[in-house]
Amino acid sequence: MSERLDDDVLVCRCEEVTAGDIRRAIRAGATDVTQVKLRTRAGMGLCQGRTCELLVQQILSQELGVRQEETGYSTPRTPQRPMTFGTLGGDGFDD
């Protein structure tokens, strides 16, 4: 198993979530990547977990004593950008 990260190590740079934040989420009942994501926002930033998901899985694996593959995967979302109602409605009034 991999080395244990200190609690102050930044795991999710996008949402500024530390290893300690993830461990607190696990102690509060999180048992997979999605539950950690919902409690901490790890994986909800611009990279959608591409940077931090493996570390979240590693921490879950260590804390729960399960194989890393058993911790699940997050569902990435495509980055979105704001649209005007005019664009959505097709009235031709794009700002």
pLDDT tens for each residue of 76-94: 666 677 777 777 777 655 5
pLDDT of residue 79: 62
The SS3 of residue 79 is: coil
Sign, Cα dihedral of 20, 24, 27, 33: negative
> What are the residue ranges spanned by the domains of the chain?
10-72+79-89
CATH architecture of 10-72+79-89: Orthogonal Bundle (1.10)
pLDDT of residue 94: 52
pLDDT of residue 92: 57
HSE on the CB side for 77, CA within 13 Å? 9
Provide mean pLDDT across the span 36-42.
96
Q: How far is Cα 95 from Cα 33, in angstroms, rounded to an integer? A: 39
What pTM value is reported for the model? 0.77
Q: Please identify which residue in the block is written with the tokens 């664009």.
A: 87
Q: Please identify which residue in the block is written with the tokens 């495509």.
A: 78
